[in-house]
Amino acid sequence: MMRPPLLLLAALPALLLAAACSSRDPAAAPPAEASPSPPAPASPAASPAPSPPASRTTPARGQASGPAGHDADLAFAHIAALTREPRVAGTPAELRAVEYLEAQLASFGYDVERMPFTFQDDPFRVGEVRVRGAALEALTMSGSPGGTVEAPSIFVGLADDAGIAGRDLAGRIAVAERGGLTFAAKYQNVAAAGAIGLVVVNNQPGPFSGNLTLEARFPVVSVAREPGADLVDAARAGERVAITAPQPSGGTPAFNVIARPPGTAACAIIVGGHFDTVPGAPGANDNASGTANVLELARAFAVGGPRPGLCFALFGAEESGLHGSRALVERLRSDGALPRYMVNLDVTGIGQRIEVIGESPAASRAIDLARAAGLDAVPSRLPPNSGSDHMSFADAGVEIVFFTSGDFSTIHSPRDVADAIDRRILDAIGDAAFLLVSDLLREVG
């Protein structure tokens, strides 16, 4: 769920951007001297933000099995797999999610396309810190260059004189705690001692971003307090750490994953939802829940063979501005291949009832079909200044239906975890979408 369009950052937890516009760290005490300025996807080694690969292994096409209808347990298994890490557009974690989605859809018997696109003005420069075989999500500070460095680490406390304690940091990655000094002062202190990288660990729950107000010579990133505890332990022991920071300029690469029945020339119906997240959010409800329901509907409708004209799309970079769905719509429109219907699933795992958004006959039909099956479905609207991928299709004149469970209380936060998902509403929305898509297939077939 993108909330709000173009002003997305305002919807993140306050800590995320607390220092983004100032050299002063709001969590720091005033310094004595101010600074002058199904199986989860594999976890590859740290690398720069993904770009369209020259070659890759295409997942083998399989054959769907299981019940010929939506199954909540199968959907929840996808949520559990996807929420092991945030899936921010342009990050290695996004690519790992893409590989998972491709493998699942191919196993159901679809032809699967990885659609690369780029977008400008990325609100998130998300990288990674790798320590002890784990990849920690990191936010790149403004003023930091991109690139990857790997070296022995060293813990420097607040990166002040007491923390550095006169030690030679040459060839090491410094790990510091947030607070006490400005981010610029921390950087200057460890750089003067010879460090080649800096990670600042939050002293409060959740992630945060910072502004160095200077151009650094090496990557400077921040990590959340909770995963950062293991990093601090590793730095105290001098273990090797790797920092990957994205480049500060140019377009951000991202991906859509599209599934079509073999031999399908055009999609009469597209069922979709976004799979990306904001930084620091596991994104169970927003939107592993919608992604999982899309995957489960793709499986259910492929039992006995995929249905001609029924396609599935999982969008990247929704949280950054609906970029993935807009890229697909633009391509379909230029090809003269827009679908007749688009069914969107976003935030479908926490709530009391099925909420149906759309002012089309298909949306009314969705409510009627659900109620006839004993499901509690009501017409609804998005909260003010919110958006989702259905809007890209609606703007192109495609008839849309948007299913959501209507509870946005955990989204864009570390509390958006798989344990909070209610399988009852997840299943109810999956069942309602299955009924609608089945009815639409009879119409377009």
pLDDT in tens, 334-350: 999 999 999 999 999 99
- C-alpha 349/C-alpha 3 separation (Å) is 17
The answer, yes or no, to whether residue 43 has pLDDT greater than 60, is no
The answer, yes or no, to whether residue 26 has pLDDT greater than 70, is no
- C-alpha 93/C-alpha 306 separation (Å) is 29
The residue with greater pLDDT, 41 or 418, is 418
Percentage of the chain surpassing pLDDT 90? Answer: 71
210-261 tens-digit pLDDT: 778 788 999 999 999 988 999 999 999 999 999 999 877 678 899 999 999 9
The average confidence (pLDDT) of the chain is: 87
Cβ–Cβ < 8 Å for 350, 410:
yes
The sheet that has 354-357: what strands, in order across it?
A: 111-119, 252-260, 310-315, 269-274, 341-345, 399-404, 354-357, 377-380
The answer, yes or no, to whether residue 22 has pLDDT greater than 60, is no
Q: Is the peptide bond before 205 cis (omega within 30 degrees of 0)?
A: no
State the pLDDT at residue 189. Answer: 98
Q: What angle do CA 128, 183, 237 make, to 5 degrees?
A: 55
pTM value surpassing 0.85: no
Task: Tell me the two tokens of residue 436.
Answer: 């609608």
90-114 tens-digit pLDDT: 888 999 999 999 999 999 999 999 9
* Residue tagged 């006839």 (tokens): 372
State the pLDDT at residue 75. Answer: 98
Cβ–Cβ < 8 Å for 205, 224:
yes
Domains of the chain: 13-32+126-245 (3.50.30.30), 72-123+251-444 (3.40.630.10)
Percentage of the chain surpassing pLDDT 70? Answer: 87
State the pLDDT at residue 21. Answer: 31
252-305 tens-digit pLDDT: 899 999 999 998 779 999 999 999 998 889 999 999 999 999 999 999 999 999
Of the pLDDT bands very low, low, confident and very high (cuts 50, 70, 90), residue 198 is very high
- C-alpha 332/C-alpha 343 separation (Å) is 16
- Chain-centre distance for alpha carbon 285: 12
Burial zone of 204 (CB within 10 Å; 0-12 exposed, 13-18 middle, 19+ buried): middle
205-209, 320-324, 365-369, 416-420: which has the minimum mean pLDDT? 205-209
Of the pLDDT bands very low, low, confident and very high (cuts 50, 70, 90), residue 27 is low
The residue type of 434 is F
Backbone angles phi, psi at 262, to 5 degrees: -55, 130
